[in-house]
Structure 1
Amino acid sequence: MTEEINKCIEVLENGGLILYPTDTVWGIGCDATNEEAVQKVFRLKQREDSKALICLVANDAMLEKHIEKVPDLAYDLMDLSTKPTTIIYDNPRGIAKNLIAADNTLAVRVASDKFCSYLIGKFKKPIVSTSANISGNNTPNSFQNIDQAILKGVDYVVNLHREKQNSSASSIIRLSNDNTVKVIRE
């Protein structure tokens, strides 16, 4: 796993794209602080850059570094969730501008997968995580179902967990600073 993490970090530091197994589905990732890298993800997915992407962090400390104020309720939601949960927060900071939604929000998930946690922790920056599909196509539930255009469009494909099957996307919850909660995707 260390060799895979080091290869990913080299690609990420150079503004490249990785295809990697997350705590949910296979994802396309890049340095979430690099606008050019984020733009490459939008181009590869053939997705409008007005559609926000998810960002993964390694731990609560990294979350707090990139969100102006993490509501206390967020920690309860993460602790009580039975599956990986992405939370949309107000007022992100230190993130590529084209990753931030028009309403000044950012979707963030604290990675629960060992590989992702180690990778992001060693990289020391958040990583974009978006499903490995062309926008509008179904999310692949296994590595074998990933479109050739995606496989060819990234700079590095992680050689771990390729047999992982039947993964599902995370829950998405919008949590405003006034503690208003809205379920976007269960």
Structure 2
Amino acid sequence: MAEFIRIYEENPNPKAIEKVVAVLKRGGLIIYPTDTVYGLGCDITNIKALERVARIKQVKLEKANFSFVCHDLSNLSDYVKQIDTTTFKILKRALPGPYTFVLPGGKSLPNPFKKRKTVGIRVPNNNIALDIVKRLGNPIISTSIHDEDEVLEYTTDPELILEKWSNLVDLVIDGGYGDNEASTVIDLSEDEPIILREGKGSLEIF
């Protein structure tokens, strides 16, 4: 049975954040709020936890399209290749915000992702998610939690999320109702930006 913890986005309680980080550090899986839909996440450095997420999503870890949730742009240099000024300006304008940017993968990616040419990077505009990553000291892997019911493509109510995911994860954060629109996904790994999915983030950042 997953632990259920209420955290307020306006002013996340440091003790509650510590509790979440402790779960991540011991290889636990969490469901947490972002500025879009609720996400399923784990510590990017914990291979066993990454494998658990891949099993839940029924994908091979090496091929999984998980996003890296970072605290700010200073985290990026660890996981992406050198990015040019134009790309950096776009990121600076858009983040934190409801975007996933696909960027060329760097050399220090965690083992399962070493062969990846690109990685998806998120810096959500949500204090709970940002505080968790900051306190943990490295990104968390993230993937949206879909609902089988197409009308409810994303579950927005934390209590319903707990009901459904309680046996699969270690902790569910109640950060209030989530959004039901996913992030806008933009590929910046080539010369021209490519919109892979139009979501919550406006395209007026270019």
Instruction: Say whether the fold is shared (TM-score over 0.5).
Output: yes
Relative to 1, partners in 2 of residues 1:142 and 1:94: Cα closer, same or farther, differing over 3 Å? Answer: farther
1-side partners of 2:159 and 2:113: how far apart?
Answer: 28
Runs of 4 or more off by more than 6 Å in structure 1? 134-137
Which residue of the partner structure matches residue 98 of structure 1? Answer: 112
Higher alpha-carbon deviation: 90-99 or 117-126: 90-99
Which residue of the partner structure matches residue 183 of structure 1? Answer: 195
Relative to 1, partners in 2 of residues 1:144 and 1:151: Cα closer, same or farther, differing over 3 Å? Answer: same
- Extract unaligned runs of 5+ from structure 1: none
% identical equivalent positions: 26
Kindly indicate whether the alpha-carbon contact (under 8 Å) linking 2:33 and 2:178 is maintained by their aligned counterparts in 1: no
Q: State the shift of 1:103 in Å.
A: 4.7
Which residue of the partner structure matches residue 19 of structure 1? Answer: 31
Which residue of the partner structure matches residue 7 of structure 2? Answer: none
TM-score (norm 1): 0.84
TM-score (norm 2): 0.76
1-side partners of 2:116 and 2:148: how far apart?
Answer: 22
Matches within 5 A, 1:54-73: 54-73=67-86
Which residue of the partner structure matches residue 141 of structure 1? Answer: 156
2-side partners of 1:74 and 1:54: how far apart?
Answer: 18
Matches within 5 A, 1:116-131: 116-131=129-144
Which residue of the partner structure matches residue 48 of structure 2? Answer: 36
Larger Rg: 2
Relative to 1, partners in 2 of residues 1:27 and 1:171: Cα closer, same or farther, differing over 3 Å? Answer: same
Q: Secondary structure at the match of 1:62?
A: helix
Q: State the shift of 1:180 in Å.
A: 2.6
Q: Secondary structure at the match of 2:181?
A: coil
2-side partners of 1:20 and 1:120: how far apart?
Answer: 11
1-side partners of 2:147 and 2:55: how far apart?
Answer: 9
User: Is 2:99 the partner of 1:85?
Assistant: yes
Query: Which amino acid in structure 2 is aligned with residue 84 of structure 1?
Result: P
2-side partners of 1:97 and 1:110: how far apart?
Answer: 22
Matches within 5 A, 1:150-161: 150-158=165-173, 160-161=174-175
Q: State the shift of 1:63 in Å.
A: 1.2
Relative to 1, partners in 2 of residues 1:142 and 1:93: Cα closer, same or farther, differing over 3 Å? Answer: farther
Q: 1:172 aligns with which of 156, 174, 185?
A: 185
- Provide the aligned length of Structure 1 versus Structure 2: 182
Q: State the shift of 1:136 in Å.
A: 9.7
Query: Which amino acid in structure 1 is aligned with residue 185 of structure 2?
Result: I
2-side partners of 1:109 and 1:86: how far apart?
Answer: 5
Q: Secondary structure at the match of 2:166?
A: helix
Relative to 1, partners in 2 of residues 1:44 and 1:181: Cα closer, same or farther, differing over 3 Å? Answer: same
Coordinate RMSD, CA, aligned: 2.6
Kindly indicate whether the alpha-carbon contact (under 8 Å) linking 2:38 and 2:178 is maintained by their aligned counterparts in 1: no
2-side partners of 1:53 and 1:136: how far apart?
Answer: 22
1-side partners of 2:149 and 2:86: how far apart?
Answer: 33
2-side partners of 1:91 and 1:127: how far apart?
Answer: 16
Query: Which amino acid in structure 2 is aligned with residue 25 of structure 1?
Result: V
2-side partners of 1:104 and 1:9: how far apart?
Answer: 29
Q: 2:20 aligns with which of 2, 8, 11?
A: 8
